[in-house]
A and B are shown apart, each in its own frame.
Chain A
């Protein structure tokens, strides 16, 4: 029996081999990687890199160019060429198509929830966008089915929360999810906010009140959003042609920390060498921790939350990576929502 994570990886494998993305790959590469030895500051590359740093795929790059995300005071217009804009829009379209298919039923029940669950919905809107491309969305059908079979998705659909929130203004729904993201996703993994701790304890002890139950439903909305976000990161990486970062016996020096709390299961590992991804950011990206020794086997997919690189001629190059594990539904806060 399959699961959402496996199906998303299946889609990624197909996309990686798909030659129709080659032009897009060349476009991104030329936008980000410098070909000449000139030390002259390149505005266009800077904007493209800033777009990538937003960690919202092709949407981020398009947003960066539309809003001219640069430190340069130079008033010269910096635009994508028509070809570049077309290819980036294509990449964005493909990822958006996947999200649309996953959320089509949710959007039918509650348009606002459908909107807020979109991974890039907290960013500014892109005004200039190409809306139609010739791309067969059937490639996503298995992954979309599995998404709709996840525990989180079904508990939201069956709980009535979509109807319950239909009367709440869009702005407040967005604020709710943004606050949850700030207080649960964007905090150090070791920390558990007091309120979350108390609610989780009540639930564990079998004494949840109505407010706790409602809060947990909102946590599940957050989890669903994170699941889609992680899937989109994987699709973005696959479109670029990047492999999944894998940390195994051949680079692992030490496991510094292996912990869990009410929200996350997380590890901190030290690996030899430097880590980087072509045209992508490591933070927020999915990785695999694959350790296989005689008496120790660990096979965890995770989201990289912090990376510290140590360049040292005494100790050699080392990277310390902290990541939270995700379950088969790509949910990083499964400890909280299960």
Chain B
């Protein structure tokens, strides 16, 4: 897990773009290559121009999208995202990437009641398709072309920051985000995941779709109390933390998507990137689907899409900045606080200490 760096700011969006924007200057780019000991194989100037231009465009697209309606906002954010990811990936690896197309095609079904979530994405061109090039560089081991199509619904249900809204919209039967409800207790941290359905076998099966779940967690204890069902999770000793932290601080476990014989968890930026492609394709090439949706959606899905766009705008640049710097950058408006290494004892620990001293005294006497 990357080291977490807290940055004090009163305006996270401005601050994070300022940090990204420094890499539109050639001297900063070269300084970055030097510090990270990145050897440039291609023309250095070309690479610097690509990075500078990509990040500049990305910033402008994102800024323009703030005041845009649903008619064009998905397009603007998507193009901003392509540029952002291209700029960051080129900067991180110091090499020019060959990208010929998006690497994806929308598979749109036009039914009477349009459900955006049911629209699919088909992945193509593993070598020079945009998303595939970026995934290969940033997340080795994930190859999407050749696998089954993905629905926008399953991608939206995999994003923790909008999971509540997505579940409200699409139901809880298929969810990929498991929120960890954590409480500090005497012996450490108690972790619970709440479930809507009460079928214990189904709960265990769902948890087993989380990659490396059995390696990191002991067998879940399922409790039914009043009207709620929850699983208590204990981490195995010295096991890796497989949770991800949402932008607002809560931890989640992310379930995998079964595509053929592969159980795939995409990184968060990729989930958002692909959904943005789907939405932008709809608004650009399928106005007969998109226009009725934004004009007269009665399901509430429109609210989810709006929330998704707002969250992407805020989070995607933050995620890419963290990837670039190999640190988890968190923007907060909490003032600087000193680290506190003093220990607070629980009631139980105090009683134990007293008992130990009394036993020692008894032994001496």
Contacts and interface: CB of A to CB of B under 8 A. Distances in A.
Interface of A: 187-188, 190-194, 249-255, 270, 272-273, 291, 293, 296, 310, 312-318
A255 B236 CA distance: 11
B218 A272 contact: yes
Nearest to A249: B236
A270 B238 contact: no
Interface of B: 183, 185, 187-188, 190, 192, 218-219, 221, 223, 225, 232, 234-238, 356, 359-360, 363-364
Contacts of A191: 359-360, 363
B353 to A, nearest CB: 11
Contact of B363 (A187, A250, A255): A187
B356 A188 contact: yes
Contacts, number: 62
Interface of B is mostly: mixed
Contacts of A192: 363
A37 B333 CA distance: 62
B364 A194 contact: yes
A315 B236 contact: no
A255 B363 CA distance: 27
Given A188-B356, A250-B218, A316 B232 contact: yes
A194 B183 contact: no
B183 A314 contact: yes
Given A293-B238, A315-B185, A315-B187, A251 B218 contact: yes
Nearest to B189: A315
A270 B187 contact: yes
A270 B188 CA distance: 11
B221 A317 contact: yes
A86 B188 CA distance: 51
Given A187-B363, A188-B356, A254 B188 contact: yes
B265 to A, nearest CB: 22
Given A187-B363, A194-B364, A272 B237 contact: no
B187 A318 contact: yes
Contact of A291 (B223, B237, B359): B237
Contacts of A317: 221
A205 to B, nearest CB: 22
A254 B363 CA distance: 30
CB-based closest 10 A-B pairs: A316-B232, A316-B221, A315-B190, A252-B237, A272-B218, A253-B234, A191-B363, A272-B234, A188-B359, A314-B190
Nearest to B214: A250
B119 to A, nearest CB: 41
A8 to B, nearest CB: 29
A190 B234 contact: no
A272 B221 contact: yes
Contacts of B234: 253, 272, 316, 318
Contacts of B185: 314-315
A220 B121 CA distance: 75
Contacts of B232: 314-316
B356 A313 contact: no
Given A314-B185, A316-B221, A249 B356 contact: no
A254 B238 CA distance: 8
Given A272-B218, A272-B219, A273-B221, 5 more contacts: A251-B218, A253-B235, A314-B190, A315-B185, A315-B190
Given A313-B223, A315-B190, A249 B183 contact: no
21 contacts: A187-B363, A191-B359, A192-B363, A193-B363, A250-B219, A250-B236, A251-B218, A252-B236, A252-B237, A253-B188, A272-B218, A291-B237, A313-B223, A314-B183, A314-B185, A314-B190, A316-B221, A316-B223, A316-B234, A317-B221, A318-B234
A38 B54 CA distance: 78
Contacts of A254: 187-188, 237
Given A187-B363, A191-B360, A272-B218, A316 B237 contact: no
A194 to B, nearest CB: 6
Contacts of B359: 187-188, 190-191
Nearest to A190: B356
Contacts of A270: 187
B190 A249 contact: no
